[in-house]
Amino acid sequence: MQTRTLGKLGPTVSALGFGCMGLSFGYGPGLDRQQGIALIREAFEQGITFFDTAEAYGALNEEMLGEAVAPFRDHVVLATKFGFRNGDSQTGMDSRPERIHAVAESSLKRLRTDRIDVFYQHRVDPVVPMEDVAGTVKDLIAEGKVGHFGLSEAGVESIRRAHAVQPVAALQSEYSLWWREPEQAILPLCDELGIGFVPFSPLGKGFLTGKIDEHTSFAKDDFRNVVPRFSPEARKANQALVDLLGRIAGERQATPAQIALAWLLAQKPWIVPIPGTTKSHRLHENAAAAGMELSGDAVRQIDAALAHVRVQGERYPADLAARAGR
């Protein structure tokens, strides 16, 4: 697998990373510990060297990742996140310096490592000045406990304020063929400041695979149940996008997921998507997308074909939307 460097100062990683969230959090029943460890190791065998987790995904998520990569720790880049009160995404933000230090120590233990390669603020805390957050991570970097500073779903002003104190290596936000808002201001800012961009949900939380339709039912603890874009009505309306993506994929002897990932990789050389999965065959399918190269003409053809399709439904319910872009 090819490698990419996250921005000017970030680490060099595989062109595609692996998002660990769904292994144990967010999408209904996950994998048991040994299954999760096996899948992470299989990802490494596929050439993936960039793994993403968070305190908010639960202790098991970091523990599985730490145990899985222990035999080859120095050959992978581990990213985790701080920023929620008591590590619970339902309780609001908490990026006080003492809390950041506490999360770092706990994550280091769960990940079985002596350093966190990329330490993200999961969501901007409206109470704690960004300068204090960046300064705290700067101290952790000086101590050797953190390699690089990252932000997730931050807005332009917050990114600039953080970067002025401690250079931001990576910004992680949602970006895909059905959520292109980062193109307006965020991607130009990353280009200007030399910040790598890490798209989460690069397959539209599974919708762009073509395996979800208006009749699909989700587990009761799957967070897509509260996402407006995943209402049955929105899924029915958005099927036009997936159908068109499927035709484009068929013309290129690829799957819709592979085209969606290849399209992202073609946008900028410092973009590293982190699709997640609990299935081995999906892992292999996604990894193969890193070997696909879409020419500029191909990207323009895809953009032109999809331009007339308007995606229906908000990507977050109002309470979660309020946390993004601050």
- pLDDT tens digits for range 184-200: 999 999 999 999 999 99
pLDDT at residue number 41: 98
State mean pLDDT over 75-93.
Answer: 95
pTM (predicted TM-score): 0.95
pLDDT at residue 311 tops 90: no
Q: How far is CA 204 from the centre of its chain?
A: 11
Of 57, 120, 175, 316, which residue is the catalytic one? 57
β-pair partners for 152? 172
Question: Distance (Å, rounded) from C-alpha 123 to C-alpha 130?
Answer: 11
**Residue positions counted in the chain:** 326
pLDDT at residue number 181: 94
Residue pair 41/87 in contact (Cβ under 8 Å)? The answer is no
Question: Distance (Å, rounded) from C-alpha 197 to C-alpha 173?
Answer: 8
Residue pair 22/65 in contact (Cβ under 8 Å)? The answer is no
- Rg of the chain (C-alpha set): 19
Distances (CA, A) of 91 to 23, 56, 80: 22, 11, 19
pLDDT at residue number 326: 84
Residue pair 207/178 in contact (Cβ under 8 Å)? The answer is yes
Counting Cα atoms < 13 Å in the Cβ hemisphere of 6 gives 31
pLDDT at residue number 29: 79
The average confidence (pLDDT) of the chain is 94
pLDDT at residue number 317: 79
Main-chain phi, psi angles of 8, to 5 degrees: -80, -35
pLDDT at residue number 121: 98
pLDDT band at 28 (very low <50, low <70, confident <90, very high): confident
Domain ranges of the chain: 3-203+268-294
pLDDT at residue 318 tops 90: no
Q: Of residues 319 and 144, which shows the higher confidence score? A: 144
Neighbours of 272 (CB within 10 A): 30
Question: Distance (Å, rounded) from C-alpha 10 to C-alpha 149?
Answer: 9
- pLDDT tens digits for range 210-268: 898 888 988 888 889 888 888 999 899 889 889 989 999 999 999 999 999 999 999 99
Neighbours of 143 (CB within 10 A): 11
DSSP state of 135: H
Would strands 3-5 and 12-14 be described as parallel, antiparallel, or unpaired? antiparallel
Annotation says 175 is catalytic: no
pLDDT band at 305 (very low <50, low <70, confident <90, very high): confident
**Top-level class of domain 3-203+268-294:** alpha beta
Helix (H, G, I), strand (E, B) or coil at 217: coil
